[in-house]
Every structure is written in structure tokens, then in C-alpha cells.
Amino acid sequence: MVSRLLYTLLLRLATPLVLLRLLRRSRQQPEYRRHWGERFGLSGAAIPGPVIWVHAVSVGETRAAQPLLAELLAQYPQHSILLTGMTPTGRDTATQVFAALGRDHAPRLYYRYLPYDYPGAVSRFLERYRPSLGLLMETELWPNLLHQARHHGVPMLLVNARLSARSARGYGRWPGLFAPALAGLDGIAAQTPDDAARLQGLGAKQVSVCGNLKFDVQIAPALRQQGQDWRRQLADRTVWLAASTREGEEALILDACAAMDIPDLLLLLVPRHPQRFNQVEELVRARGLGLVRRSQGLPTPETRVWLGDSMGEMAAYFSCADLAVMGGSLLPFGGQNLIEGAACGCPLLLGPHTFNFAQAAEDAVAAGAALRLEAGQSLAGTAQALLRDKEKRRIMSDAASAFAAAHGGATARTMDLIRSLIAPAGR
């Protein structure tokens, strides 16, 4: 109790910094100036009930939620589905996910920003929407939110739950704050046994291992086809994809390209965050390399870097590439989701830093779908060897597709937990 009160006091004192952060981000992404009322629980029209609420903080979590949303729509036809997030890119991704779920479901799908974790803000949110059930994706452990959910009688599940060893150590420094939050959950669907063990070590109860929902995400055929069409139009060019890169990694990748001896190599460079598109373009042009942005069309023969400045097309990029290096893994960011690339049959190259997706990365390497670049190994040398070895890439491609197909089923197991708290219509 004391820990949560102190946390709330510090959060209130930080409010001016929160507002300044929104304003600063809005300079690069004007969308951050919108919907401020939702962030403090002060706006957002009520929606027809009953309501099932799913929280997915940003892009990756929103995409991972798609198969779960589809099952909720099918099994709970009398419910509206409220999806919340925290970022404009997540909101844009939700629009794409809603479209993929079909027009017939559109009247039952709603999106709002989740309020910041002030007691009054989250209480107003819960009173406005009165969800029958709340589902938090991955690691969204907000002490006041969970406390208020218990106060309002809203059952809560943490689904697709993951917790790296690094994050567990961080949460462990505040046992009086996070142990009650975890213990108050009505259930946890962990991705892996290691995730389950770390959550239980912090005080979680009723933890089940259900797998990773991202393995159940279906790649849109239109995106696969788009990537294959690009591949044909690029003719005999070798295409190396740098997927979801983080700050500092682009320079490493450009250095590797400069050191590689592959005729007509095309680097397909896709930064993780859209607010960095212009910055990365400047970095490339400063090196005197010909660049075309995806929004401008296809590369020309003179293009050395094709900048992926679009959202929602990563599957097309994977389907176009001969080899992909996963961003976030070359420097200690913890890596980005490799499952989509594997599902597209793209050979994968991982850096040494994959703690955010430790089990998936380990399993992908063991299956032959991915190759890990260990500390001290040359990125240029390893990538060049793979790009020159067509048969090796074919074997890795087949292994990647098989790996992605073999790990499905998390959605069905998660739905079993959901049905234990709220019965579908007619039951």
C-alpha cells in the first residue's frame, strides 16, 4: 500500500515532464498532440456493452493481438471489443488490424488510448467502459490500473506474457509495488516456462504456459504477393533486409554493406520507429549512397538503399528479401520479433542481443531458421557468406517456414483461460 502511494505521488509530480514529453514527441509525430483527454481518462465516448477490453501498448503487441481479437469476436458475438494502446503508431496499426478482421466486425471494434496510471484517470476509464474482462498484452503491469480493476470488480488476465531476466531484476527492486499487482491478476498466460518462472518469482499466481500468440498471426496473402512482385521487379539484384533497426544499428549495417563484395547489392533498410525515417535518410545520404524511399516507389538501378518508410508492410519486405538481419539485436535493445520473418520463409540473421525474444530466438537457431552472430563475429563476413550461398538460404527458408508453423496454438490455449472467467454467449 505504502509503495503504491509513493509511486502515485512520484507519478503526479512527474506530470509536467509527461506533458513535455508528449509535446517533444509531437514535433516529429504530430499525432501525439491528439487525444490527450483519453490519456487522462477525461474523454472517449462510451461504447455499447457488454465490453471485453484488450490492452496492447504499441505496434508489436497490437499485431500479436490479432488472432486473439478474431476469436473474441467469434466466441463473444454480443460483446464490443475495446482495444487500447499508448502510441500513435499502435493506433494506426489497430486500424490495419481492424480492417484485416473484416467489415462485418467493424461496428463492434473500438480503439482508445489507455490513461496514464493515475488512480483517478484509470478509475474514470473503467467506469466509462465497464469491461466484463480486461486482457493485458505481454508486460503491461500498471499498479494503479490493477488496483482499480479489483476495486471495480473487473477480472484481469496478463496474456502473451513475457518477462526477460533483465526486466525481472528491475521489477524485483520494487516488491511492495509489483508483487501485489501480479498476485491480484486472475490469471497469466505466459509465453514460455522461463517467463512463467520469472513471473512466479515476483509473486504471480495462477500462471499457465500458453505459447506465443505471434505464431498464430496469419500473414496476409496480399502482402506476400506484394513482396514477391517486388522481388521479380528487382530482377537479379541481391536484397538484404535490415528489419526494424534501432538507433546506432544503421551505421553498423551501412559499414557492413561497404565491406561486402556483392555486385548490385540492395539494402532494404526499415527503421523501427517512423519518427527516425528522416534521420536515417540523412545518415545514408551523408555516405553518398543512392537512396529511394518506399513512399517514392521502387528502387532504380542506381539505388543502393531502399528506405522502408511505411507501416504495416513488414511481411512484404520479408517476402522480398534474400536475407534479413533483425534490428534491435546488433546493439543491446533486446531484439525485435523474428516470427513474422520466419513465417514468410525469410532466412534470418540475429545479433547477440535477443533477450526480449530469448526463447523464440533460441528455438529459431536450433531449428536452422536463423543464424546467430556471436560477439566478435563479422557482420559483413557472415552476411556476405549467406548471400553468396543460395542453397544454404534455401535450407534456412524451408526451416523458417516449418519453425513458424510448428509453434502455433497459443490463441486456443489463451481462450481456455478467458472462458474460465467469462462464458461465451449461449453457454
Show which residues are catalytic.
61
Kindly tell me the sign of the dihedral angle through the C-alpha atoms of 384, 385, 391, 394: negative
> How far is the CA of 182 from the CAs of 185, 195, 423, in angstroms?
6, 13, 24
Separation CA 162–CA 423 (nearest Å) = 26
What lies within 8 Å, CB to CB, of 96 at 6+ separation is: 311, 312
Q: How far out from the chain centre does Cα 242 lie?
A: 17
Q: Does residue 335 contact residue 351 with C-beta atoms inside 8 Å?
A: yes
Q: Does residue 74 contact residue 44 with C-beta atoms inside 8 Å?
A: no
Q: Does residue 262 contact residue 238 with C-beta atoms inside 8 Å?
A: yes
Is residue 352 reached through a cis peptide bond, with omega within 30 degrees of 0 on the bond before it? Answer: no
In 98-190 the beta strands, taken as DSSP E runs, fall at 109-113, 131-137, 156-161, 187-190
Q: Helices 15-26 and 2-13 meet at what angle, rounded to 10? A: 50
DSSP letters, 342-382, are HHTT--EEE-S--GGGHHHHHHHHHTTSEEE--TTS-HHHH
